[in-house]
Amino acid sequence: MSRLQVVSGKGGTGKTTVAAALALALATEGKRTLLVEVEGRQGIAQLFETEALPYEERKIAVAPGGGEVYALAIDAERALLDYLQMFYKLGGAGRALKKLGAIDFATTIAPGVRDVLLTGKACEAVRRREKDGRPTYDHVVMDAPPTGRITRFLNVNDEVAGLARIGPIHNQAQAVMRVLKSPETAVHLVTLLEEMPVQETADGIAELRAVDLPVGRVVVNMVRPHVLDEAAVRAASGDHRDGIARTLASVGVTGGTRLVEPLLDQAAEHARRVELERTQRAVLDGVGVPSYELPFLGDGADIAGLYRLAKELRKQGVGA
């Protein structure tokens, strides 16, 4: 399994929830995962019901089997200070630049610099080793920007390497791209079985492939159970008012005639949803990417829900 798992998806598809569940699923049998956030929304802290994440790696959960999940909210300014210290030994000078506003300028105005720093920090965590040579983290899971921005976000280092032909910036950008375009990385796209998310997922996969970024899985999220079998779905589109009324009366339901219309409306809505999902599954089948499926959580994505989703992912082969 790839060591850097990048999770993207159209807004509203639950990509942060999926990233958190994936980190839990990978932290099995004593493994250690790092869950990183790059958009500054503190979504991970909210999911795990903890205080806002600082710019440091902090343990936030223990997985079944004794594995550990750490989390990091990557801050572009702090990442730039790390970068200046690492390559230019500008520890004190870097802090002075921050006071002067130069760091803020570089991370908000200079094209691509912010994304370079964010991806670089995540890849550094992938490459990091302990004194005995073992990886510090078995897996790094990145809660990445939405599908519409993911290809540019991940490929920005290629552009930087082309602009800076020599020197530490060039070398750093190339090192990051070696990780991102290697079997160590997999980019997963989260979708719902709805037309717009599915189309954006298909477009995102095509864009990732066009620049040789490794596509992992499609994660079909919030899948609702089918409460009617195929015969009932077909029947829901017909006019069966009299038959339903007679059936309700035969089982002793009083005032059953008032229930006929609401029951027919619900059945027809369910039939439409089943047909829509069937159509969207066909589109996803056409992109040729394997998938995971996660159920709709009626009680919301709380900690218990995250563990339930992680269990579902393990059933489907994650962490095996």
Among 74-78, 94-98, 175-179, the range scoring the smallest mean pLDDT is: 94-98
User: What pLDDT, on a 0 to 100 scale, did the predictor assign at position 198?
Assistant: 97
Going from the C-alpha of 219 to that of each of 39, 49, 216, 278, 319, the distances in angstroms are: 20, 24, 10, 16, 15
Backbone angles phi, psi at 140, to 5 degrees: -120, 125
Higher pLDDT among residues 10 and 298, named by residue: 10
User: What pLDDT, on a 0 to 100 scale, did the predictor assign at position 299?
Assistant: 73
Report the alpha-carbon distance of residue 314 to residue 204 in Å, rounded.
Answer: 25
Report the alpha-carbon distance of residue 244 to residue 250 in Å, rounded.
Answer: 10
Report the alpha-carbon distance of residue 287 to residue 264 in Å, rounded.
Answer: 36
Higher pLDDT among residues 96 and 126, named by residue: 126
pLDDT higher than threshold 90 for residue 87: no
Q: What is the mean pLDDT of residues 157-183?
A: 74
User: What pLDDT, on a 0 to 100 scale, did the predictor assign at position 274?
Assistant: 80
Among 24-28, 47-51, 142-146, 166-170, the range scoring the smallest mean pLDDT is: 166-170
Higher pLDDT among residues 274 and 304, named by residue: 304
Condensed to tens digits (0 to 9), the pLDDT of residues 215-230 reads 999 999 999 886 655 5
Condensed to tens digits (0 to 9), the pLDDT of residues 185-197 reads 999 999 999 999 9
User: What pLDDT, on a 0 to 100 scale, did the predictor assign at position 39?
Assistant: 87
- Partners of 216 in beta bridges: none
The winner for highest mean pLDDT among 69-78, 105-114, 119-128, 133-142 is 133-142
Q: 């899948």: which residue's tokens?
A: 223
Q: Per the structure block, which two tokens stand in for 56?
A: 């440091």
Q: Which band of pLDDT confidence, cut at 50, 70 and 90, is reported for residue 109?
A: very low
Proportion of the chain above pLDDT 70, given as a percent: 71
